[in-house]
Amino acid sequence: MERGAAFVSLNDNIDTTTAAGKAMFGMLAVFAEFERMIVERTKEELAASKARGCNGGRPKMDQRKVEKAL
């Protein structure tokens, strides 16, 4: 609001000219930042796991067991 601009969403009922709207907009920004942090940590952990030699994913099935089941 320093420059006199406001955000009003007609679909989501967010209006930054009110205290409740400012709070909601701030909470949405916090959730977006938290989601980015989770993505970064996941990528870091996957890279560290790969460096340790772990490929991840489900272990391969024993072909004999698959044939027996079929």
Is the pLDDT score of 24 beyond 90? Answer: no
Domain boundaries, given as residue ranges, for the chain = 8-56
Rounded alpha-carbon distances, angstroms, from residue 18 to 6, 9, 12, 22, 53: 10, 12, 14, 6, 53
Global pTM value:
0.57
Average pLDDT, the chain: 87
Is the pLDDT score of 12 beyond 90? Answer: no
CA distance 6 to 11: 16
Is the pLDDT score of 57 beyond 90? Answer: no
